[in-house]
Amino acid sequence: MIRTLVSRLDPRGDRTGTAGDGARPPGGVPRTDPALPGSFPALTDPSPPPAWSRLRRLARSPSYGPKARVRLISCRPSDPAALAFEHLRGHLLRSLPGNRIARIAVIAPTPDCGSTFATANLALSLSRISAFRTLALDLNLPRPGLAKAFDIRGAGALEDMLTGAHPPEKHLFRIGETLALGLNDRPVANASALMQGDAMWDVLDGIQNTLSPDITLIDLPPLLRDDTTRLVLPMVDGVLLVADGAHTTSRQIAECERRLSDRAPLLGVVLNRAAEGP
């Protein structure tokens, strides 16, 4: 397993470069992405379970535009910046823990490094793999951002689903056939208590069992600002760390690696807003 991958991503879509490639990983049944080259392994049955098919489907596709709060680069595969997410996607799939369903946390050292940007675009990139199911959850409960990233209004309070007050099918919905979203449009006051409690993880386990996504991407609060993130990391199978090329220091990255060392495998470091090298 490659311990660290550096991908240079820019939310403006005007500057990008990556390390890694999109080669096909070993094993599994290949599934081809019609938009981007490369084939990937099937982790679950290619036929979606009934619960997945019954999820509400969003009538319109996510938008791409310069005025968007978070640029959805992966909405336009022809955008040169989408290549960075193609490589990141290939690296992630090769790094999955075994040939099984995986929960992947996407975190940053500090706020505004781009973990929501990376989560949204990686989810869209994964969704273009035929019959490969991706679930993206906004568990940055104190400061949710995925609903704004996808420009979706009226997402509702994710807290109602996480506490079991509402069934998942009332809150989750699909974009197309291969991407489901669990969004949140309001901060959660007791986020720490909720994320450390058994009730939330029982709900998430139930969602995994009924929807059977191949990958669940979880946008979490910054690791160095919210100790709750470190406490819940044993519940995930791997971590993508998103650093800000303009502001994140090497000391902060090293501290994140230290905090992750006995909690969850670090699958890669994504360098956002990085200047091009020579």
Question: What pLDDT, on a 0 to 100 scale, did the predictor assign at position 62?
Answer: 64
Q: Considering only 3-12, 119-128, 192-201, which range has the smallest mean pLDDT?
A: 3-12
Which of these, 69, 245, 209, lies nearest to 144 by C-alpha position?
A: 69
Beta-carbon contacts of 24 under 8 Å, excluding residues fewer than 6 positions away, are: 30, 38, 39, 40
Residue 242: pLDDT over 80: yes
Average pLDDT over residues 91-117: 85
Q: Which domains does the chain have, with CATH numbers?
A: 6-272 (3.40.50.300)
Please, what is the angle between helix 115-127 and helix 82-94, to 10°?
80
162-201 pLDDT, tens digit each: 999 999 999 999 988 999 999 999 999 889 899 988 999 9
First to last CA, the chain: 28
Question: What does each C-alpha distance from 183 to 93, 179, 270 come to in angstroms?
Answer: 24, 13, 23
3-state secondary structure of 218: strand
* pTM to 2 decimal places: 0.82
Per-residue model confidence as pLDDT tens digits over 140-158: 999 999 998 888 888 889 9
pLDDT tens for each residue of 30-44: 344 433 333 444 445
